[in-house]
Amino acid sequence: MKKLFAINKLRELGYKITPQREYILDLFLKSKEHPSAESIYNTLKENFPYISLSTVYNTLNTLVDIGLARAIFLEDKTYFDPNIEPHSHFVCEHCGKIYDLEPVSIDLKSLKTEYISRIHNLDVYIYGICKECTYIKAQ
Amino acid sequence: MKKLFAINKLRELGYKITPQREYILDLFLKSKEHPSAESIYNTLKENFPYISLSTVYNTLNTLVDIGLARAIFLEDKTYFDPNIEPHSHFVCEHCGKIYDLEPVSIDLKSLKTEYISRIHNLDVYIYGICKECTYIKAQ
DNA sequence: ATCATTTTTAATAATAATTATTAATTTATA
DNA sequence: TATAAATTAATAATTATTATTAAAAATGAT
Ligand SMILES: [Mn+2]
Ligand SMILES: [Mn+2]
Ligand SMILES: [Zn+2]
Ligand SMILES: [Zn+2]
């Protein structure tokens, strides 16, 4: 179970397990839609009215720091992704939804290495219109 | 000349050519280092102390709107690129510099199109450490 | 169970990038 | 030169995110 793994890793690194962190993990780890801190906050507020946005940011940033989540920086704000397997993203320019795509394989060896000493990471964003938006528009 | 092309396109679309826009075009169009609005503003201020940051933002955003520049959204802020040929970017995680790379060729046809109706654009960011930073660190 | 230590929370303030507003000025055109 | 439309600079507003901090909670040892 993803949550237990996350809790173990947090404990192992000296982080304490609070109810707030568990609520966030419960919601975030199973999400597929790349939520923002605020959207997680708004959802949690329904059940836990006293949770604070700072705590949500704190927890999500911690998860990114320890490698259990990744951040997706788009034009307007930061989105968070609990899927840390290599993969790419499709961003619909109409509705803003972010979809997972297969990892795009890039031959990093073939890159001009004039400037590059070491490669740590790769982000591929494909922008366009999603099927849902085309379908709605066609009605 | 890139500047004349930009001015013609602006005129053609009903934009007026002001000295401020020319100063910005002069500086921006020949830049290779993906400047931010503020860095352009700071450089221009040396020669034109009365230019405003709003005007720089306005002009850069206009250039993006009409397809003469692209915006690069990174974690901290927006950078602007006068190079509108397809290409990728390498971002040094140590010094923050953004380097141009050859366009990464991706077989868009091979993408799972479960969600995708139309593709407009593609952004590839490779993160790592640049040679300059490795060299400096080794000293 | 209690204590001591460390961390976390929530609330709030602060920061920083960007956009909005607007009166005065400038451009483009006739 | 007169007119209409767009732009500028200054400033205010907005928004996402981080920083601060006193009070509360978690952890681990007694
Ligand atoms: Mn994803
Ligand atoms: Mn570039
Ligand atoms: Zn869509
Ligand atoms: Zn570097």
pLDDT at B139 over 80: no
Nearest nucleotide (C1') to alpha carbon of B57: C18
Ligand 1 mean position, distance from CA B133 (Å): 30
Q: Which CATH class is domain A88-138?
A: alpha beta
Nearest-neighbour CA in chain B from A26: distance (Å) = 26
- Which residues in chain A have their CB less than 8 angstroms from residue B123's CB? 123-127
Nearest nucleotide (C1') to alpha carbon of A17: D26
E strand or H helix at A70, and its extent? Answer: strand A70-73
E strand or H helix at A6, and its extent? Answer: helix A2-12
Banded model confidence at residue A110, pLDDT cuts 50, 70, 90: confident
Which residue type occupies A12?
A: E
- Tell me the two tokens of residue A12: 């192992």
Q: Which residues sit opposite B126 in a β-bridge?
A: A122, B90
Question: What's the topology of domain B2-81?
Answer: Arc Repressor Mutant, subunit A (1.10.10)
Is the pTM for the entire model greater than 0.85? yes
* Residue-wise pLDDT tens digits, B40-57: 999 999 999 999 999 999
* Residue-wise pLDDT tens digits, A111-125: 767 899 999 999 999
Beta carbons of B83 and B100 less than 8 angstroms apart: yes
Give percent above pLDDT 90 in chain A: 86
Distance of CA A137 to the CA centre of its chain: 28
CA distance B24 to B70: 15
Q: Which of residues 53-82 of A touch B (CB under 8 A)?
A: 71, 73-75, 78
* Residue-wise pLDDT tens digits, A64-99: 999 999 999 999 999 999 999 999 999 999 999 999
Per-domain residue ranges of chain B: 2-81, 88-138
pLDDT at A131 over 70: yes
Query: B28 CB contacts (<8 Å, ≥6 apart)?
Result: B35, B40, B60, B63, B69, B80, B82
Q: What is the dihedral of CA B113, B117, B118, B124, to 10 degrees?
A: -40
